A and B are shown apart, each in its own frame.
Chain A
Amino acid sequence: MRGFDRRTFLRGSAGGLALFALGALLPAGCTRYPKPRPKLRFFTAKEYAILNLLAARILGVEGLERGGAEGGVDVAAKLDGIVLGWDADLRRQLRFALRVIEHGTYLFDLQRKRFTKLTVDEQDRYLAGWAASTLGARRVAFLAMKALVSLGYYADDWDGLGYPGPWLGRVPVEAR
């Protein structure tokens, strides 16, 4: 998979439609999300917090949930610029998906807390439920989120991978 952008992201199946509809019913403007440090052009403070937490939990990289604090990578801030280039329909679907993930805890896990308020173990179990769901659309939504946070993190950060990065500017090549 190369990135995340499918037009039919959540709406391509009956299960996806159900998720999409659920997203429309869930609360859009919960308060008590920390104010992001960077100036965002697309994401709200809530979406910023959800995305960075998803990055940390899915990619297993310590500290991503704190955004760019302590000099770390701010996945949500990077994606904020990328998502601006998407068409409006896709951006709207992304918003719905983030909302479903944040508040789907009540439905899928019978939790009384939203995703960002769960303990780390609960968050991991909750996301593992998305990855293993018998509902195909939930698994695809999980894959799409994984692709998205992978783009936000691994596009420029290769620490620990042994990958040296592009040749351009690093390896001289004679013109053909």
Chain B
Amino acid sequence: MILDPASLADGERLDADVCVIGSGAGGAVVARQLAEKGLRTVVLEEGRHNPSAEFTQREASMIPRLYRERASRATADLSVLVVQGRTLGGSTVPSFCLAFRPPAAILDAWEQRLGLEGVGSALMAPYFEAIERLLGVVATGEDELNANNARVRQGASVLGLRGRLPQHSRVACVGCGYCALGCAYDRKNDALTVLLPAAERAGAVLVPQCRAEVIEREGGRVAGVRAVVGGDGLAPSVVTVRAKTVVLAAGAVASPQLWLRSGLPDPHRQVGRHLHLHPQVIVQAVFDDEIAGWQGVPQAFVIDHFLRAEPGGGGFLLTPIFAHPVTASALTPGLGGPHRTLMESYARRAMLSVALHDRSEGRIDIDDQGRASIGYDLVEDDRADLVDGMQRASDVFFAAGARRVILPYTELVELEQPREVAAIQRGVRANDPLLFSYQPHGTLRMSATSSGGVAAGSGAAHEVPGLWIADASLFPTALGVPPQLAVMAFASRVASRIA
């Protein structure tokens, strides 16, 4: 059942076998699996319950409802906008449903080089297969490529770049293009539509608008969670969930934040470290004919030619993307007449994201009020890849017949022919271009020993008996690809270790 947060009185106590913090890709998988095994499972979610019937397909109303801090949380130096979901179902709700398995070389390196037994590609395969079956993961159909994706595919083909139609978890997609604002038609198989309803049917209790404040311990072992219910006009009340098992699945920013706020042991100062963001920029192009990128599946083709699929990171993915008018206007460089002229070319515009497989590592800290601070700086090799990625994206667009390419700098920088390298290589300075991250991971990472990470390969916290990690925090290196499917597969493995 989904508990009405208003029904919880101040000081109320819930008893459970397991308390899961977070209802996104990791938490929803764990909740379903443990509830189906008969464990009394309570799921705490900071965001509201936003049923699809309330999705409006409008940016002004949906962004504040679905995204943390209205999608405007940034790193401490304001150079990377870190966008995460905050709603029942977490980031799966406004996601583009891409279902990538991590490169086998990365999983195998985790097992062989880092000593994490059982996480290699062969032994993880059954977990991936089970999640893919559950979510009905399929390859994108040829008929699902909109003009934006088709142009990118055409450019890749002309240049001889490796690309493919990725797998995704939509079913009978109607092609409205509003994935990032939540699917009003329930055509996405995600935490909100599949996993949490299954958990509910198995008896799990879901508590929206409930922010975990402290993980409580007794005698060194986890004893439960103290949380605050409230927000959106609801007066705050403190509730406690008593549980001998707590699963931390609040995401790679909030999970270490909660760890630190709870004062849990961190003898090797590993908590919050090794943050990867997969930072990305968006290169745009104007074509002579209509693109209408707002319609259809936004990300239906991916160029993985430049991705270095190995644990050291490096390289980048090129993936078409599109934005509705408010976001598109904010992304459009320049100001005044040139900005308006570009907005008037909105229907003829294509967009391509350059997402780095980052070598850079940041960290999560908290301030004296317990608020998270995200520290992250691009290392030189990543900066070089960023410039190279912008160049490659420009090449793809010109090969597909683009009239002009627009670079993601604050000022308007347009290319009218290929290989205007100087304009791109003018360098990347602080906050310019502005980077985005939709995929933070790696802040409570798995390690064979407590000196190298926070969790064992099973997901159990090294230093806190009864505490498990089941979100993107677990990953010991950057993945290079969108991590949602990997989060789900690893969460499933964690749940299987709990019970």
In the complex, B325 has a CB within 8 A of chain A: yes
In the complex, how many angstroms separate the beta carbon of A160 from the nearest chain B beta carbon? 5
B330's partner among A124, A147, A162, A176 (CB-CB below 8 A) is A147
A142-B410, A163-B347 given as contacts; is B73 within 8 A of A57 (CB)?
no
What CA separation (Å) do A81 and B327 show in the bound complex? 19
- State whether B176 touches A60 (Cβ < 8 A): no
**B371 proximity list for chain A (CB < 8 A):** 7
- State whether B325 touches A158 (Cβ < 8 A): yes
A136-B431, A161-B325, A161-B343 given as contacts; is B186 within 8 A of A2 (CB)?
no
**B178 proximity list for chain A (CB < 8 A):** 166-167
Interface centre among A16, A143, A156, A173, by most chain B C-beta atoms within 10 angstroms, is A143
What CA separation (Å) do A137 and B171 show in the bound complex? 44
- Residues 330-357 of B, flagged 1 when their CB comes within 8 A of A and 0 if not, give 1100111111110110110000000000
- State whether B60 touches A82 (Cβ < 8 A): yes
**A140 proximity list for chain B (CB < 8 A):** 78, 431, 434
In the complex, how many angstroms separate the beta carbon of B295 from the nearest chain A beta carbon? 9
Of chain A, the residue at the smallest CB distance from B77 is A13
- State whether B73 touches A155 (Cβ < 8 A): no
A136-B431, A143-B330, A150-B326 given as contacts; is B335 within 8 A of A131 (CB)?
yes
Of chain B, the residue at the smallest CB distance from A139 is B410
- State whether A1 touches B436 (Cβ < 8 A): yes
In the complex, A5 has a CB within 8 A of chain B: yes
In the complex, how many angstroms separate the beta carbon of A71 from the nearest chain B beta carbon? 19
In the complex, A168 has a CB within 8 A of chain B: yes
What CA separation (Å) do A155 and B61 show in the bound complex? 9
- Residues 141-176 of A, flagged 1 when their CB comes within 8 A of B and 0 if not, give 011001100110111101011110011100101011
In the complex, A26 has a CB within 8 A of chain B: no
In the complex, how many angstroms separate the beta carbon of A124 from the nearest chain B beta carbon? 5
Interface size on A, residues (CB 8 A): 49
What CA separation (Å) do A176 and B53 show in the bound complex? 12
**A150 proximity list for chain B (CB < 8 A):** 325-327, 329-330
A3-B326, A5-B69, A13-B77 given as contacts; is B335 within 8 A of A128 (CB)?
yes
Of chain B, the residue at the smallest CB distance from A142 is B410
What CA separation (Å) do A160 and B326 show in the bound complex? 14
What CA separation (Å) do A156 and B438 show in the bound complex? 26
- State whether B335 touches A124 (Cβ < 8 A): yes
**B39 proximity list for chain A (CB < 8 A):** none
**B334 proximity list for chain A (CB < 8 A):** 131
In the complex, how many angstroms separate the beta carbon of B184 from the nearest chain A beta carbon? 6
- State whether A176 touches B187 (Cβ < 8 A): yes
From 1 to 31 in chain A, residues with beta carbon under 8 angstroms from any chain B beta carbon are 1-8, 12-13, 16
**B381 proximity list for chain A (CB < 8 A):** none
**B186 proximity list for chain A (CB < 8 A):** 176
Add 12 more A-B contacts to A3-B330, A139-B432 (CB < 8 A).
Answer: A1-B330, A8-B74, A12-B76, A13-B77, A60-B337, A61-B340, A147-B330, A151-B330, A154-B329, A156-B60, A173-B185, A176-B171
11 contacts between A and B (CB under 8 A): A1-B327, A2-B83, A5-B70, A58-B336, A124-B336, A137-B431, A147-B326, A160-B343, A162-B292, A163-B325, A173-B176
Q: Chain B interface (Cβ within 8 Å of chain A)? A: 56-60, 63-64, 67, 69-79, 81, 83, 171-172, 174, 176, 178, 184-187, 290, 292, 294, 323-331, 334-341, 343-344, 346-347, 371, 410-411, 429-432, 434, 436
